[in-house]
A and B are shown apart, each in its own frame.
Chain A
């Protein structure tokens, strides 16, 4: 896990949160790694990478999932340091996220990297914003 070493070496103030995030992410990865890769085409490949010191994990969608009520099953789950990033697919196949919501990206990995740049080291808030739904 040289990625963790690198993350710790950066010495960010979010260190404690990062460790928690990585723990949660590792659990999720092992849980979702067992199903066969017979997922519907979602435009997303599985990604595990460290970008600018942040861990990006993309798990291809397999129908349903956290987007209950959406008509677009198969959305990938994108996490940054273990925190889920809300993403959306446009009709033309491009992607947006809640931190870059007016700018489109060609694939979830470039979307996630743009989110890392936008965050400038900040931790993603829990999935639903504070204050509840509309």
Chain B
């Protein structure tokens, strides 16, 4: 059974296996197909039109399915590898071991934002940015430059306390858990982390930075935490909503999976720390 672990707890060997699997997916072309898919959705998901991957209720089940597909690709390379998650409420500075040279490498240099160390630095020749929105082929970051602070534990707690999954008009102006977690409303959780990392993570081609997967694995864990705290709440809307993926509607691009299929993460993986139910807090 796949267990997703906090990245801060990985052994040196687990870090090596994870980065090696990423580099192999990059080498064989699989990786960039995920970047292309993400950018295609982010450019076409609109508040007033069809929306599937972002700014809509299916933000969470869409990314859960997207990560499952990516994790399966990693496991084809190395069956021991699972997606780690980055708890950015705890590991909240550029000095975190996450950004060390033996894992993701650090922030970009001042002149051009280029990441200069770690397995994904351009000079290694193994991590060319090919699906891109501008001419630059090197991985970039500017940790903490676009916004000073990552979300705090208290800010996350306030969002986890919201009892309603999502509300009409089911977009970036909605109230409710999903949009406050996504970050278009309120304290801004998920969106702010993209901005804090900077570089490609701030763009539509954000999966170019491997931290994308660890960020979304933690957002996904927060969804599981929320479910445990609100067992009476469920995915909304239920049915009949134009432009929006209802509970039993299939999601593009797979067309064979619904939000209902994605509600129970334990069908696919568990976390090193499983969410505790509200009554156990």
B132 near A129 with CB under 8 A, answer: yes
Query: Chain A contacts of B55 at CB under 8 A?
Result: 90
**Contact indicator per residue, chain A 102-134, by CB within 8 Å of chain B (1) or not (0):** 111000000000000011101111000111111
Which single residue of chain A is at the shortest CB-CB distance from B142?
A: A118
A131 near B36 with CB under 8 A, answer: yes
B204 near A101 with CB under 8 A, answer: yes
Do A91 and B131 contact each other (CB < 8 Å), given the known contacts A101-B42, A102-B194?
no
B 167-208 contacts with A by CB, 8 A? 169, 171-173, 183-184, 190-192, 194-195, 202-206
Number of A-B residue pairs having CB atoms within 8 Å of each other in the complex = 114
Q: In the complex, how many angstroms separate the beta carbon of A124 from the nearest chain B beta carbon?
A: 5
Taking chain A's interface residues, is the majority helix, strand, or loop, or is none over half, making it mixed?
Answer: loop
Bound-complex Cα distance A124 to B205 (A): 13
A102 near B183 with CB under 8 A, answer: yes
B130 near A130 with CB under 8 A, answer: yes
Interface hit among A22-30, A39-47, A56-64, A69-77: A69-77
Do A70 and B191 contact each other (CB < 8 Å), given the known contacts A90-B173, A101-B202, A134-B37?
no
A134 near B131 with CB under 8 A, answer: no
Counting contact residues on chain B (CB < 8 A from A), the size range is 35 or more
Taking chain B's interface residues, is the majority helix, strand, or loop, or is none over half, making it mixed?
Answer: loop
Q: In the complex, how many angstroms separate the beta carbon of A75 from the nearest chain B beta carbon?
A: 10
**Chain A CB within 8 A of B146 CB:** yes
Q: In the complex, how many angstroms separate the beta carbon of B15 from the nearest chain A beta carbon?
A: 27
Do A101 and B206 contact each other (CB < 8 Å), given the known contacts A90-B173, A91-B169, A92-B172?
yes
**Chain B CB within 8 A of A98 CB:** yes
Q: In the complex, how many angstroms separate the beta carbon of B113 from the nearest chain A beta carbon?
A: 7
**Chain B CB within 8 A of A99 CB:** yes
B204 near A98 with CB under 8 A, answer: yes
Query: Which of A118, A122, A131 contacts B35 (CB under 8 A)?
Result: A131
Bound-complex Cα distance A88 to B49 (A): 12
22 contacts between A and B (CB under 8 A): A69-B44, A69-B50, A70-B49, A71-B46, A71-B49, A72-B46, A72-B47, A72-B48, A86-B43, A88-B43, A91-B173, A99-B133, A99-B204, A100-B203, A101-B42, A102-B183, A125-B133, A125-B135, A129-B36, A129-B204, A131-B32, A131-B131
9 pairs of A and B residues whose beta carbons are closest in the complex: A134-B40, A91-B173, A131-B36, A102-B194, A71-B49, A102-B191, A91-B47, A122-B134, A98-B204
